[in-house]
Amino acid sequence: MKYFRLSLIIIALFNYQYIKAENVDEYKIEIVLFKFNKVLTDELFDINLNEPDLNETIEFYDNEIKINKSKYSKFENISTYIKTIVENEFDKSNIQHPSIWYRDSDDLEILKKFNSNIGRNNDLKLLGHHSWIQNIPEYDESKYLRFKNTDYGFYLKLYKKRFLHLDLKTFIKDKRNSDIQIFIDKEHRIFNEEIYFFDHPAFGILFTINKI
């Protein structure tokens, strides 16, 4: 009887995911970051970036595994999730609901040419590029995707609030003065298949979103 219930639950879960997949659009996101080798401005900028609370962020799948040794990714804990439902431990099932982490990729399509041109431009230094696939939730359900390395970092949240929106906080490291943060903090309405450029006198970021 227990195995029969388990079979029904598995079938129901797969059917739910199939129906959900039909109703949730997925988008491919691409970004390219670079800095200007010569900064020609005397303008003063804020030096304190208001970073989101850690609980409001999520890391790329690959980084999360490497740094935190997380076992809750790509539905690897699905068996535990099903087991708690079968045993009527509904409170635990909510806690152990599988998590999906965004997977970082080097695969650029729309921004590939821009990325190559920046790498060949002597006035610019290419910092890095990323692409990934995600759905875009409502505002209350969205989180910032976070990424940091020795040269730059970003928090990027995409959400729906009637239209698609972007909340971007990205920064580069000032190796001459660790107390100074050079950053872009931008909220913007976005459209599918458009390319956006956000800049600071010291660096810039290209962003595009394309529905799959």
Q: For 163-188, what is the mean pLDDT? A: 86
Whether residue 108 has pLDDT greater than 70: yes
pLDDT score recorded for residue 181: 75
pLDDT score recorded for residue 191: 96
Of the CA atoms within 13 Å of residue 136, those in its CB half-sphere come to 24
Contacts of 59 (CB under 8 A, 6+ apart): 67, 101, 145, 146, 147
Q: For 180-189, what is the mean pLDDT? A: 88
> Which range in 3-12, 21-30, 83-92 is most confidently predicted, on average pLDDT?
21-30
Mean pLDDT of all residues belonging to the chain = 78
Q: How long, in residues, is the chain?
A: 212
pLDDT score recorded for residue 60: 82
Whether residue 141 has pLDDT greater than 80: yes
Instruction: Give the Cα separation of 9 and 83 in Å (integer).
Output: 10
Distinct helix (H) and strand (E) counts, the chain: 5, 9
pLDDT score recorded for residue 48: 78
Q: For 99-107, what is the mean pLDDT? A: 73
pLDDT score recorded for residue 42: 65
Instruction: Give the Cα separation of 134 and 121 in Å (integer).
Output: 31
* 138 φ/ψ angles, rounded to the nearest 5 degrees: -70, 165
Query: For 51-67, how does the pLDDT look when each residue is reduced to its tens digit (9 = 90+)?
Result: 899 889 988 875 444 44
pLDDT score recorded for residue 98: 41
